[in-house]
């Protein structure tokens, strides 16, 4: 039997981060593995797959993880990384928490949406300097609901494009064990998914074309060309 016939294309929805990391490496890094995970934590992503060459975190939980802020990464030379995995905290509380979401007890969280977005922006700015030309960021993020809907993933894409990253791909991770509130308390659908946003460092000659307020970013052109 010719098993080549049964080779599947990767689809956009996954149930495990490790499957996403494998797929994104195959597709975007052509099978090369990840250079750095700068929010490594316990390394849950890598229980069944190879760990990245370099691992760092603001609060390392293992001896082989370097202590470093993702917005500075001073232990990395500029222009030296081909790929960075980034899975920052995505929760924030403007006030005392009133929901039963026990994720906030486990993960660190920001004081406000603005503080979170500032951290994401400073980190992407740093990644831009640390990456080689054409290097990749694999950014795991989640839209937040705390009585209100915050479309974090669109804000990240906007910031990344302003920093001259090219949006190359989006994969969706479905979460199967999320606690749900009573439907009467809902202001929007409960989020049971997160995003893996794939960003490629663009060159100075990356061409931006603005069409009906949405921005399409294409590969580098011969002449520098920027819209206002
Ligand atoms: C959602 S957890 C990452 C979980 C990890 N992907 C895993 O598989 O175990 C977020 C991590 O980001 C780290 N972190 C928060 N702020 C940071 C910063 N400014 N620089 C680097 N790491 C930071 C936290 O210490 C935490 O370990």
In this structure, what CATH number is given to the domain that contains residue 93? 3.40.50.150
* Number of structural domains the chain divides into: 1
Q: Does residue 101 carry a pLDDT above 90?
A: no
Give the integer Cα–Cα distance in Å for 217 and 4: 35
- Indicate the helix (H) or strand (E) that contains 224: none
Q: What pLDDT does residue 32 have?
A: 97
Pairing of strands 54-57, 36-37: parallel
Residue 205 has pLDDT above 80, yes or no: no
User: Is 100's C-beta closer than 6 angstroms to any atom of ligand 1?
Assistant: no
- 164: containing domain: 9-216
Considering the chain, what is the average pLDDT of its residues? 84
Q: Where are the beta strands (DSSP E) in 15-141?
A: 36-37, 54-57, 66-67, 81-86, 131-141
Tell me the per-residue pLDDT of 145-164, one tens digit each, with 9 for 90 and over.
777 889 999 999 999 999 99
Residue 209 in any domain: the answer is yes
Q: Which residue from 43, 56, 57 has its CB within 8 A of the most atoms of ligand 1, so it is best to mutate?
A: 57
Q: How confident is the model at residue 174 (pLDDT cuts 50, 70, 90)?
A: very high
- 47 pLDDT more than 50: yes
d(CA 107, CA 118): 18
CB-ligand 1 contact for 57 (6 Å cutoff): yes
User: How many residues can be counted in the chain?
Assistant: 228
In a domain, 222, yes or no: no
Closest C-alpha residue for ligand 1 atom 1: 89
Tell me if 147 sits within 8 A of 96, measured CB to CB: no
For residue 212, the CA-to-ligand 1 centroid distance in Å is 37
Q: Which residues contact 92 (CB under 8 A, 6 or more apart)?
A: 109, 110, 111, 112, 113, 115, 116, 144, 146
Beta bridge partners of 110: 92
- Which pLDDT band, with edges at 50, 70 and 90, does 178 fall under? low
At 220, the pLDDT band (50, 70, 90 cuts) reads: very low
């Amino acid at each position: 039997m010719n098993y080549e016939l049964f080779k599947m294309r990767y689809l956009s929805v996954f149930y495990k981060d490790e499957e996403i990391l494998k797929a994104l490496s195959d597709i975007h890094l052509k099978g090369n593995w990840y250079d750095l995970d700068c929010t490594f934590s316990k390394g849950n992503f890598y229980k069944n797959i190879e760990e990245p060459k370099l691992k760092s975190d603001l609060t390392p939980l293992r001896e082989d993880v370097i202590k470093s802020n993702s917005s500075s990464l001073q232990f990395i030379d500029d222009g030296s990384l081909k790929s960075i995995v980034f899975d920052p905290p995505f929760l924030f509380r403007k006030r005392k928490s009133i929901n039963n979401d026990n994720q906030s007890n486990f993960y660190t969280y920001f004081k406000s949406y603005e503080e979170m977005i500032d951290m994401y922006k400073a980190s992407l700015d740093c990644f831009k300097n640390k990456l080689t030309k054409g290097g990749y960021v694999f950014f795991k993020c989640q839209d937040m609901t705390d009585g209100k809907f915050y479309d974090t993933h669109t804000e990240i894409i906007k910031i990344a494009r302003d920093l001259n990253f090219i949006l190359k791909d989006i994969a969706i991770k479905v979460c199967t064990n999320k606690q749900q509130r009573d439907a009467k308390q809902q202001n929007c659908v409960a989020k049971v998914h997160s995003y893996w946003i794939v960003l490629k460092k663009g060159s100075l000659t990356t061409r931006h074309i603005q069409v009906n307020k949405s921005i399409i970013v294409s590969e580098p052109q011969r002449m520098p060309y920027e819209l206002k």
